[in-house]
Amino acid sequence: MNGTVDVVRGVLEEGLATWLPRQRWYGGGRAIRGVHCEELSTIADEPEVALCVARVDHEDDTHTTYNVPVAVGSPGGLRPSDPAAIIHEDERTLIFDALADARTAAPLWRILAGGQAVQLRDGRLGVGGDGGLDPSTRDIAPLAREQSNTSLIVGGEHLLKVMRKLAFEPSVELEMTRALEAAGFNHLAPPEAWLHYERNDQPHGALLALAQQYLRNGTEGWTLALTSLRDLYADAEDLNAGDAFQRNQAVEDAGGSFTPDAARLGDITAQMHLALADARGAELSAQPITPALLAEWADEMIGDLEALIAGNAAAVQGIGEHEAAIEARINAIRTVHDPGLAIRIHGDYHLGQVLRTDSGWTVLDFEGEPRRPVEHRRRRHSPLRDVAGMLRSFDYAASVALIERSTPADPAWGHLWAHGRTWAAANREAFWATYVERTAGSRLLPDAGAALTLRRAFEIQKAVYEVGYELAHRPQWVSVPLGFLLEATA
């Protein structure tokens, strides 16, 4: 059954070395020495689909493992509608990402929905969950959303999230969603079934795919925020420069105003953190934040900053000139008294990770920051890390919407920029005020002054992460987090 894929193994590995770095979900940033398919097993015929677990070896002697199901055929046969999905093509062979076409994505769904383990050449596929899914469903379409994995809509009812970067460790996504569901937090889509890739030489299976309810009427928070900002900027172009009062009034009128949604997000975020503070289990229960933990966090933040500057000196020259001032903001957390609780957190919290439906906000994707190792994502952290991520997202939205509309050379840039800053400030305040009010009386946070000290340090850490991410994936956006870091020293 593996004859065809064995024949094309060499060209597949060569093709992946150039194809992988072009993918949105690829880790990026490091030169590739070579690619080796550690698992290449056919899971369906006509069309032929193979599970490919590819180890990418980097020039710096590190490696990363990716899940790339592939379809194998001839150039005259089945082709993906998106040419970017083609990994290799010559006069005899066509290989493409199997998730790019409904017919070649279907075998993975059949295995997961069928609930039966599948023996592969070098490992096995194990299935978990309550079952009840229809393996015969053929209506499969990609979800058009930028993310670190690939999501497919199945039958209009289910979301099949296929993990791209694999880790043979406990799944953060499963741990978090199941713990929150058990704690009574219902603003999420709980897992219906999941698929693990298991190997005898690994202590844990790697989460390969996860099925959840598809929230068909949901709109991403990022999309809603940009809509509000586009309306604001369109209206602002017809206004005089105005003062702060007029800008605030314009923000409240823009697109029906986003601030009520920001406040509701603050409430949902607080509910999520309060539920996690009550979670049970050795890897989940809350713990007091100690001085040693504060020092560890400060060291980590400064290490992230130093690594960014050392690795990208020319691109982040402005940060280097203000490094001492930024580090002073970070070091302030070392002396925070009674800093609250350390809990498991979302870890990659921003407007793109929340969906507004008819019933309110739903939180998505509990894997944490994709560039962080799993061990780091499973640690307990201050809930203010999540808060900082969402606050940074409001700033991001204002800047990105402005970049879409104008340039610094435009005479209206400064006028629009002032309106965008006002929008970001209003939504940050609405989110923060509601979050603080909702968590009042709990042990989650320190007093107001100490909470701000911690929050600001986490915002700096998030911006440092964002600079590295943008340099690797979207260099045209790097000015957004760079600008925040320079403002943070003012």
Cα–Cα distance measured from residue 213 to residue 105, given in angstroms and rounded to the nearest whole number = 18
pLDDT digits (tens, 9 = 90+) for 305-330: 999 998 887 888 788 788 999 999 99
Task: Tell me the pLDDT of the chain averaged across its residues.
Answer: 92
Closest to 347 (Cα-Cα) out of 287, 276, 260: 276
pLDDT digits (tens, 9 = 90+) for 324-345: 999 999 999 999 999 999 999 9
The pLDDT of residue 74 is above 70:
yes
Three-state DSSP class for residue 243? coil
Residue scoring higher pLDDT (108 or 131): 108
The pLDDT of residue 358 is above 60:
yes
Pick one of 3.40.50.10320, 1.20.1050.10, 3.90.1200.10, 3.40.50.300 as the CATH number of 219-487.
Answer: 3.90.1200.10
Residue scoring higher pLDDT (150 or 472): 150
Give the pLDDT mean for 259-273: 97
Residue 287 one-letter amino acid: Q
pLDDT digits (tens, 9 = 90+) for 391-400: 999 999 999 9
| Antiparallel, parallel or unpaired: β 165-166 and 63-67 | antiparallel
* Terminal Cα-to-Cα distance of the chain (whole angstroms): 64
With cut-offs at 50, 70 and 90, classify the pLDDT of residue 1.
very low
Give the pLDDT mean for 455-466: 95
- Give me the residue spans of the domains in the chain: 3-213, 219-487
Ranges 109-113, 466-470, 477-481, most confident: 109-113
CB 466 within 8 A of CB 485: no
The pLDDT of residue 246 is 75
With cut-offs at 50, 70 and 90, classify the pLDDT of residue 5.
confident
Three-state DSSP class for residue 168? coil
CB 177 within 8 A of CB 192: no
Cα–Cα distance measured from residue 339 to residue 458, given in angstroms and rounded to the nearest whole number = 13
Closest to 187 (Cα-Cα) out of 359, 444, 38: 359
Run of H or E residues at 87: strand 86-89
Indicate whether this model's pTM tops 0.75: yes
C-alpha distance from residue 62 to each of 12, 164, 401 (Å): 21, 17, 37
Q: Kindly give, in sequence order, each residue whose CB lies less than 8 Å from that of residue 50, ignoring residues fewer than 6 positions away.
A: 2, 5, 40, 41, 42, 43, 69, 70, 72, 98
Judge residue 244's burial from the number of C-beta atoms within 10 Å of its C-beta, 0-12 exposed, 13-18 middle, 19 or more buried.
exposed
The pLDDT of residue 326 is 94
Cα–Cα distance measured from residue 436 to residue 39, given in angstroms and rounded to the nearest whole number = 49
The pLDDT of residue 281 is 83
With cut-offs at 50, 70 and 90, classify the pLDDT of residue 254.
low
Run of H or E residues at 355: strand 354-357
The pLDDT of residue 241 is above 80:
no
Question: How far out from the chain centre does Cα 300 lie?
Answer: 20
The pLDDT of residue 382 is above 90:
yes
Q: What are phi and psi of 288, to 5 degrees?
A: -65, 140
The pLDDT of residue 145 is 66
CA dihedral 338, 339, 341, 343 (to 10 degrees): -160
Give the pLDDT mean for 109-122: 94
Give the pLDDT mean for 293-301: 97
